[in-house]
């Protein structure tokens, strides 16, 4: 084993391409690994305006042609993108003179990751950020079955499967029938320093773009889809407004946006709910700093990175007591937990935080401390590096080596 550990990470999204939580996860993890002496090569999909090749804080990023020809559907595009990714990644590995480990993030790069594992006979690790079974609450169609089978295949082929919460470890173990010793829990992280650098923004001035001075800001950040529980928050809006003068700021896009904004218009509360769509990182961070409460009402939540970001921004959080959120938040110590899929319970949690200034301040301080101590990338990258090293030492005793 050479002194330098060389890892190739495969991911379909990486900044500036941001679809969900995988993009920031791979970005911060790879940069922290590079600081810890691991040579990381990220292979990802191209993005308009982003360079084909660049080095970011010691991480070499390759953006490959993700198949431009029109595809009949998303599944076909994923399949063709993987063929290109495997071909391009293989030539990069040859040019580099080899890597020690391939590390794939989610089913979207499963084909490429498994192919590279067998071509180069090197161990493959997989991080499973979410499952189709969990997102859909079961498997109901051939399309969902295709994704589920791809995930199962990836976990089968991987040397180790990393999950970001104990909840996800037990979920993945159950859904794919995996042995316990194949699964590792390494939490997701957040860079609290990003929230200290505010630049030259006057937050009071900034806040006025979203709410009146006398309105409390209730912030939701996430995709507007069923599993994120945005409909639960919208149902809670009138209940909260009975007790508190608040403005609901909804950041994100998704298929539920149209029907939810129509519903809000119909009940005459359009002036109290603002759908911003997608916003840039700077705007998002400032919003999180201004928010009087940040709400994560998910029905299914493998981890809950949005809750961590709010905690880093010192915004008090109200979360569903489910999945990874249950592990991140301690009730009335680092946040308030409410029953999932229950608008009454959610409204109770939001008003509790908005009406009790002492509680809100306590939650802010405790949550910030917890993020800095437990969810920092430095710690997470050291844990990840240890996994790489133990896999390589097992690998060195196999006939492939």
DSSP conformation class of 109:
G
- Say whether both 153 and 203 belong to one domain: no
Q: Does residue 163 share a domain with residue 68? A: yes
On whether residue 204 sits in a domain, the answer given is yes
Domain membership of residue 140 as a residue range: 5-189+376-395
Q: In what order do the strands lie in the sheet with 53-56?
A: 53-56, 59-64, 38-45, 5-10, 101-105, 124-127, 160-163, 183-185
pLDDT in tens, 194-248: 888 766 788 999 999 999 999 999 999 999 999 999 999 999 999 999 999 999 9
> Average pLDDT, stretch 181-204?
88
pLDDT tens digits, residue range 82-139? Answer: 999 999 999 999 999 999 999 999 999 999 999 999 999 999 999 999 999 998 989 9
pLDDT tens digits, one per residue of 70-79: 889 998 999 9
In this structure, the dihedral spanned by the alpha carbons of residues 42, 43, 48 and 54, taken in order and rounded to 10 degrees, is 50
Percentage of the chain lying above the pLDDT 70 cut? 99
Same domain, 40 and 100: yes
Kindly tell me if the per-residue pLDDT of 1 is higher than 50: no
Do 169 and 205 belong to one domain? Answer: no
Rounded Cα distance, 31 and 22, in Å: 14
Using alpha carbons, select from 366, 377, 356, 358 the residue that is nearest to residue 331: 366
Q: For residues 178 and 234, state if they share a domain.
A: no
Tens digits of residue pLDDT in 306-352: 999 999 999 999 999 999 999 999 999 999 999 999 999 999 999 99
The predicted-structure confidence for 46-56, as pLDDT tens digits, reads as follows 999 999 999 99
Residue 290 belongs to a domain with what CATH number? 3.40.50.2000
Average pLDDT, the chain: 95
pLDDT at 2: 47
One-character DSSP codes across 173-217: HHHHT--GGGEEE------THHHH--TT--HHHHHTTTS-TTSEE
Reading the block at residue 123, the tokens are: 């161990």
- The answer for residues whose C-beta is within 8 angstroms of residue 322's C-beta and 6 or more apart is 298, 299, 300, 301, 340
Query: Helical H runs in 267-375?
Result: 281-290, 305-312, 323-328, 343-355, 357-374
**pLDDT range class, residue 68, cuts 50, 70, 90:** confident
Integer Cα distance of 218 and 37 in angstroms: 41
Check whether residue 44 and residue 158 sit in a common domain. Answer: yes
Same-domain status, 89 and 180: yes
The residues that bridge with 57 in the sheet, in sequence order, are: none
Q: Let me know: does 106 contact 129? Beta carbons within 8 Å.
A: yes
Tokens 């089913």 correspond to 107
Do 249 and 165 sit in the same domain of this protein? no
Residue 48, both tokens: 């308009």
Return the pLDDT at 198: 63
* Number of compact structural domains in the chain: 2
In a shared domain, residues 157 and 21? yes
153 and 210, same structural domain? no
Structure tokens at 74: 């998303």
Decide if 143 is inside a domain: yes
DSSP 91: H
In a domain, 71, yes or no: yes
150-to-146, 147, 249, 265 alpha-carbon distances in Å: 6, 5, 36, 41
Tens digit of each residue's pLDDT (9 = 90 or more) over 271-313? 999 999 989 889 999 999 999 999 999 998 888 889 999 999 9
Q: Does residue 362 carry a pLDDT above 60?
A: yes
């Amino acid at each position: 084993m050479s002194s330098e550990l060389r890892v190739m990470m495969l991911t379909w999204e990486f900044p500036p391409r941001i679809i969900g939580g995988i993009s920031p996860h791979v970005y911060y993890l790879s940069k922290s690994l590079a600081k810890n002496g691991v040579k990381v090569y990220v292979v990802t999909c191209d993005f308009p305006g982003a360079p084909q090749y660049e080095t970011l804080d010691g991480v070499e990023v390759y953006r490959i042609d993700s198949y431009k020809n029109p595809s009949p559907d998303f599944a076909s595009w994923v399949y063709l993108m993987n063929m290109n990714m495997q071909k391009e990644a293989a030539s990069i590995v040859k040019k580099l003179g080899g890597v020690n480990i391939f590390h794939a993030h989610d089913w979207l790069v499963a084909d490429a990751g498994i192919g590279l594992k067998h071509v180069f006979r090197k161990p493959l690790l997989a991080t499973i950020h979410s499952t189709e079974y969990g997102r859909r609450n079961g498997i109901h169609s051939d399309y969902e079955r295709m994704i589920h089978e791809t995930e199962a295949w990836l976990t089968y082929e991987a040397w180790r499967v990393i999950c970001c919460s104990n909840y996800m470890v037990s979920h993945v173990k159950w859904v794919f029938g995996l042995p316990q010793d194949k699964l590792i829990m390494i939490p997701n992280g957040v860079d609290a320093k990003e929230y200290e650098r505010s630049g030259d923004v006057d937050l009071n001035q900034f806040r006025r773009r979203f709410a009146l001075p006398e309105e409390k800001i209730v912030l939701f950040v996430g995709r507007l889809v069923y599993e994120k529980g945005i409909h639960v928050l919208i149902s809670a809006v009138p209940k909260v407004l009975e007790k508190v003068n608040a403005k609901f700021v909804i950041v994100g896009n998704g298929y539920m946006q149209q029907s939810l904004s129509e519903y809000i218009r119909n009940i005459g509360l359009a002036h109290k709910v603002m759908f911003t769509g997608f916003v840039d990182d700077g705007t998002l961070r400032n919003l999180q700093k201004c928010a009087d409460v940040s709400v994560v009402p998910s029905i299914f939540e493998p981890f809950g990175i949005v809750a961590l970001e709010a905690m880093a921004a010192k915004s008090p959080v109200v979360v569903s007591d489910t999945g990874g959120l249950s592990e991140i938040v301690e009730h009335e110590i680092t946040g308030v937990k409410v029953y999932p899929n229950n608008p009454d319970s959610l409204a109770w949690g939001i008003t509790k935080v908005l009406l009790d200034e002492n509680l809100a301040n306590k939650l802010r301080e405790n949550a910030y401390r917890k993020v800095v101590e437990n969810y920092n990338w430095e710690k997470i990258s050291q844990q990840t590096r240890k996994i790489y090293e133990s896999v390589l030492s097992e690998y060195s005793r196999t006939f492939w080596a």
